[in-house]
Every structure is written in C-alpha cells, then in structure tokens.
Structure 1
Amino acid sequence: MNSDELTTTVWELDQDEFPADEPIEEQARFLLRYAILAPSSHNSQPWQFTIDEDRIQIFADETRWLEVADHDKRELHLSLGCAIENFCIAAEHFGFDYRIQYHDSGETDSIAVVTLHSDGNQSSDRPRGLFKQITERYTSHALFEDRSLPQPTRDTLHQSILEDVVSLYLIDEPGLKRSIGELQAEADQIQMNNSEYRKELGYWVGIGALGQSWLMARIAQSVVTHFDLGDRESQKNSELVRSAPIIGLLVTSTDDPPARVKAGQAYERLALAASADDLVTHPMSQILEIPEKRERLGTQVGITDGISQHLFRLGYTDESQDHTPRWPLERFLSTQL
C-alpha cells in the first residue's frame, strides 16, 4: 500500500494480531495503528512518530498545520492529544503501563514522549470499554434527535475528564444554545468571506481527506474555493448548534501546548465514552478560530478563569455513517523498523 494513499482499511484492526512475541518496537508500532484513527481538524492528521525501543516520540507535522484556520495551533495540539489518548488506551488494553512527558514544543522538539512499561500494573480511572470504541467512534454532521441525555450518561462524560487543567461544560439551556448558534453563524460568515480560508479548506476537501470520492472531492474543492458559502454554512451550522441536546465545551486553566494536548486527550476519551453510550460528537471550531468570538463565547458561558479550547455537539442520530479515510501509519513514522 502506498503510504500517501488515503484508505478506510486502516479501521480494520484485529486485536488478535497484536505481536505479543515480537520486540517492544513492533508492539509500539501496532499500538500506533490505533493512534492514527483519532480525529483531527479537517482530518489533516498532523502528527509524526518515532519509535526508539520503549520510547515513542510524538511530533507536530507542521506541513499539515492549518495556518489560516488554526493560526495559534490550538487545533493542531488538540489533534495530537487525541492521537496520544488512543495510543495510551490501546497500550493499557494490551497490558502496558506508560509514562507521558509533555513538552512546550518548539519547531524541532517533540510535543510529548510516551514510555512503555510491560509490567501492566498501572491502574486507570478511565471509563470502561473505551478500547473497543476506537474503531467504532465517528463524527456526525447530521441534525441530532430531540432526545435529552440521561443523568448517568452526563456523569460518565464528566468522569471522563481526568486532567487537572481541563474542565467540561455541558450546555443544554435553550437560550444559551441559541446565543452560541448566533456566534457560530457570525464566525462562519467571517471565515467563509476569507478567500485564504476557503482555499485552505478547499485543499483538504480536494485531496479527499473528508471522505468524498475523487470526482466529488474535486468538484467540492472548486465550489468551496471560488464561492462565498457563508450564508449557507452559517444557517446550517447555527441550526446544528441550536438543535443539539447538548453543547460541550472544554476549558483549560492555561493556554500552553501541554494544556491543549491534554484537552485533546480529554476530548477523545469523552468521545469514546459517548460512543459507548450510542452518542455521537461533532466538533464546531469556527467560533474558537476567531479571538473575539472565542472571548464572547467564554463570557456567554460564564467562564471567569479559563480558556475555551474545544466546542462540540453531543447527541443521538440514526444516521449511518462510514469512517473517513486515513493515511496509513507508514506515512507518519519518521524511521522505519
């Protein structure tokens, strides 16, 4: 398989193929196949890995950074956190303990290093059953059912947040959701009025990262790049926000790369826990991509001491959805075993 080829076959993982009798480098390589199934902004997969015996270094691949939409690299760091969380959940499942070192990364430094230990005695506070959901979870862009979340489900979502620097807000008050929907519409209008933003979005659409066929992707790229779809997108996304039973917001106490990475880990853990309860999630990033809108969101939600990092919808849908394709792991390994 060509390492530059997008494919859905990466989702077809069989845990029985874990190389239990192979060196730890090969075992780490197997675990990374779960890491690359993590969500990322525009499905850009902005990560790079190196394996050195029991040490796995995670780098930001800045060739996949969304420089226009994600000017401060917030979404890039969140995406890396999602991949790290999948890796750690898989490591636990196959009997590893691990230690994570976070770095306030520069251009050439790793954002984190995960060191594996094979004694398997590490206790975990994660909700049960997350490993299976790594290959089941998907993002839905559909309208959600008019169905509220039961309290036990809400409790599980809150219990999924294990990081001291991360807080979760679950918003279901209609007036507040309406206000957030209005902010979403304003943010969509601003972004879609920016030709550079449309060009960047069009690139990822055009190469098939969002799962469309080659022909449909190229048509969609042309439409996105050359036409201002602000009215359509703002109306559609505002309705998605208002109609969702829950809007989730992750907030961190600081705004440095390690805090953002931890917020990404928290989101992926929450998304997997939601999937286990037949819920789906849908990130809504546009508000947070515009500093003034991000600040207004924090004010509306009542955040007095923290930074909004990740906004998303939560709900139920009967919509059937295929997984979006991924580039195979080999594309992201800087050294080959």
Structure 2
Amino acid sequence: MNLEELIHYANLAPSGHNTQPWKFSANDNVIRIYPDFSRRLPVVDPDDHALYISLGCALENLTIAANAKGLDAAVCYFPQDEESECIRVSLSVSGDRRCEDLFIAIPNRQSNRRQYDQKAVPEAHIRTLIAANHCESVQISAFTMADQELETIIDLVKEAARIQFRDREFVAELLSWIRFTRKELNDSQDGLTAEVMGFPFVPRWLGSFILKTFAKPESEASKTEKLLRSSSLLMLFISKGNERRHWVDLGRTFQTVALNATSLGLAHAHLNMPCEVESVRRKLSAFLGLKHDEQPLLTIRFGYAEACPRSPRRPVDEVILPTGTK
C-alpha cells in the first residue's frame, strides 16, 4: 500500500489562490489531512470556509485514488481522539477497483480561466454533473445561458468584483500569491502563476504596478462578465449548514463534479466573487430563496476551451509531516 502515491493525488486538489492549505501524515495504513492555517486567506476567506472546502477536495481525490487502487477508505471528520485537528482516512484492502474513470481525470483536471466558446453543454452532461452530488448537506443549482435568472446572478458577480477590487487589502492579498517571475514560481511551487493569469513573467515591481494600474473595479467587473457570458453553464454549490464538516462535504461534492466534467471534456473555473463578499452573498441567498442555514459558497462556470498552463504543486515530501509530528 503506497500511501505517498495516494497523497500525491490528494495534493493535486484545487485551493483558493492555489495556497495548498494542507499537510498530511501517513503511517499504519492511515492518512491524516491537517489544515495548514499558515496558508489561510484572512481577507477573502475570514472564516476559513474556503480552506475547509479545499480539504474536502483533497479528501475526495484521496478516496477516489484509494478506491481505484482496490482500497476501501473509511473517513472520520475531526475525531476527538486525535491530538490535532484532522480528517482521518483509514485504508484497507478490498480488491474491488472502483472510480477508475474519475481517478484518470485527477491529473487532467485544471481550473481553466480562459474565455470559453459558448458551445452548449448537452442536457445529459448537465444531469451527470448534478447526479455526482453524493452529500445530503450540499445542494447544486444549475443555470444555462438561456435561463433568465442568470442575468441577476451576473449583476451580483459584477457587484462583488467591484467591491473586491476597491478593497486595498484584497488586492494586497491577491498580489502576495501571484508568482510574477519564474524564480518565484520555482521557489514556492504554489500560488497563481503569471502564465495561469494570462500574462508573461515580469519582475514583481512591474507586475504589481500593472495589476494596480489596470485591474480597476469596473474593468474587472467587465472582464468577469465576459468570462461568464462565454461559458455554457453556471453551477452554484450551496451548503446546508455552516460548520467545518459541511464545508468539507461541499469540497468533496465540487471535486467529484469537477472530475466528472473533466471526463466529459468540459472546462471549469471559479467565479466565486458573489460567495466571497458577505453582503453580496446575502443578496444571492435571498434571490435563490435559501433558508437561514443555507448559503452559496462556490460559483463555478463550465464550458469548452483549450487547455491552459497548469498551476504548480509543492512536492509531496513537502506536504507530508515527519513521522511523529502532529
């Protein structure tokens, strides 16, 4: 049983600004996933819900990889008998290989920030994506470009983009996670690379100047609208609860949907602004008619596009804790 190989697949999960906010331990056929709060995003994610969503994505990759290798994965969220907060995954041999199509999709999945080609997603594919939700605490609402409700959502996305890019702390946090030079990328193996953001490698001073000069509230709102209108499908992932376990469940659901989308040849990307700005999230919740304990936490667009450069990942040995460390 190669635990490091399973952690490799978990490490390919998405995370906000590609912070990779996780650590792992592996011994006695047990893998533990720990939140790494040194990689939190206090401005855009003050309650850490996005951090726990990322842990859910990593957990789903891990369990899918285990199942594809003929292993059963018994998952326990935040067990009280552990010294540190973690998700514990106990592995055992079953001999029954499952989820092989999703396993194949793990290294191919990527967040594609390009404009899409507006080609409609077949209804059967939309049903497949919605049916991939296996968590009772998660609800998915899907909108095609023909749905009138989408215009209101687009307005809320633009409103949130304006608010974020008026916020100096938001811009500073974003800048701190952009890797403007190849050296920054090679040194960190995390964050948002210049290539992924759609511009060439430049010195940090120049990249910061360009972003601060040209990434204005109205231009970012317009850019975001164009990206959304080029897409074919928008899905909102709604949490039916506001605790760590609900956020992890939402991450697991999103990751399963994203892997199914990858298998179907669909690109996807976050447009999460209306979920990140609390005042706009309340408006979005009211528009969707959600109950008081339900909230939209992910806004994902889908469509068709050429592959884009891949985000980096830290080596597996950097995310595995030394034996005996908790």
TM-score class, shorter: 0.7 to 0.9
Change in CA separation of 1:334 and 1:282 when aligned onto 2, cut-off 3 Å: same
2:41 alignment partner, one of 59, 66, 85: 66
Shift of 1:224: 3.3
Q: Deviations over 1:58-102 (max 9, x none)?
A: 111111101101111111111111111111111011110011111
| Correspondence for 1:21 | none
- Give SS of 2:312's match: coil
* Pick aligned residue for 1:131 from 86, 90, 103: 103
Taking the TM superposition and a 5 Å limit, the aligned residue runs for 1:88-127 are 88-103=63-78, 109-121=84-96
**Cα distance, 1:217 vs. partner?**
6.5
Q: Secondary structure at the match of 2:121?
A: coil
The answer to whether 1:324 aligns with 2:311 is yes
Q: 1:327 and 1:316 mapped to 2: Cα distance?
A: 28
Deviations 1:11-36 (A, max 9, x none): xxxxxxxxxxxxx4xx1111100111
Tell me the amino acid that sits aligned with residue 131 of structure 1.
Answer: F
Picking from 272, 276, 292, the partner of 1:289 is: 276
Partner of residue 13, structure 1: none
Answer yes or no: is the 8 Å Cα contact 1:47–1:80 preserved in 2.
yes
2:164 pairs, out of 184, 191, 198, with: 191
- Could you say which residue in structure 1 is the equivalent of 2:245? 258
Any idea what SS the aligned residue of 1:325 has? coil
Aligned ranges 1:204-223 → 2 under 5 Å: 204-206=177-179, 207-208=184-185, 209-212=191-194, 215-216=201-202, 218=204, 219-223=206-210
Q: Give the structure-1-normalised TM-score.
A: 0.84
Secondary structure in 2 aligned to 1:148?
coil
Letter aligned with residue 99 of structure 1: A
How far off is 1:104 after superposition? 8.4
Runs (4+) off by over 6 Å: none
Does the CA contact (< 8 Å) of 2:25 and 2:33 recur in 1?
A: yes
CA distance in 2, matches of 1:233, 1:336: 46
Matched position secondary structure for 1:129: helix
Residue in 2 that maps onto 1:86: 61
Count the aligned residue pairs.
306
Alignment partner of 2:193: what SS?
coil
Q: Kindly report the root-mean-square deviation, in angstroms, between the aligned alpha carbons of the 2 structures.
A: 2.2
- Normalised by the size of structure 2, how large is the TM-score? 0.87
Tell whether the 8 Å contact from 2:53 to 2:250 is kept in structure 1 after alignment.
Answer: yes
8 Å CA contact 2:115–2:227 kept in 1: the answer is yes
Q: Structure 1 104/246 Cα, relative in aligned 2: closer, same or farther at 3 Å?
A: farther
What amino acid is the match of 1:80?
L
Matched, 1:142 2:114: yes
- Give the corresponding residue for 1:303: 290
Query: 1:174·1:242 contact (CA, 8 Å) conserved in 2?
Result: no
Using the TM superposition, give the Cα deviation of residue 119 of structure 1 relative to its aligned residue in structure 2, in angstroms. 2.4
Matched AA of 2:295: I
- CA separation in 2, counterparts of 1:204 and 1:104? 32
Which residue number in structure 2 is paired with residue 164 of structure 1? 136
Q: Which amino acid aligns with 2:43?
A: V
Residues 234, 182 of structure 1: CA spacing in aligned structure 2 closer, same or farther, 3 A cutoff?
same
Give the Cα separation in 2 of the matches to 1:135 and 1:121: 22
Letter in 1 for 2:90: T
Note if contact 2:158-2:224 (Cα within 8 Å) is conserved in structure 1: yes
Distance 1:308 1:333 in 2: 32
* Superposed displacement of residue 103, structure 1: 2.1
Shift of 1:312: 0.7
Partner residue of 1:312 out of 260, 282, 300: 300
Structure 1 segments unaligned to the other structure (5+ residues): 1-23
Is the CA contact 1:37–1:135 (under 8 Å) kept in the aligned structure 2?
yes
Q: Which runs of 5+ in 2 are unaligned?
A: 186-190
Change (3 A) 1:59 1:226: farther
| CA shift for structure 1 position 299 | 2.0
Match of 2:257 among 270, 294, 299: 270
Aligned residue identity for 1:310: L
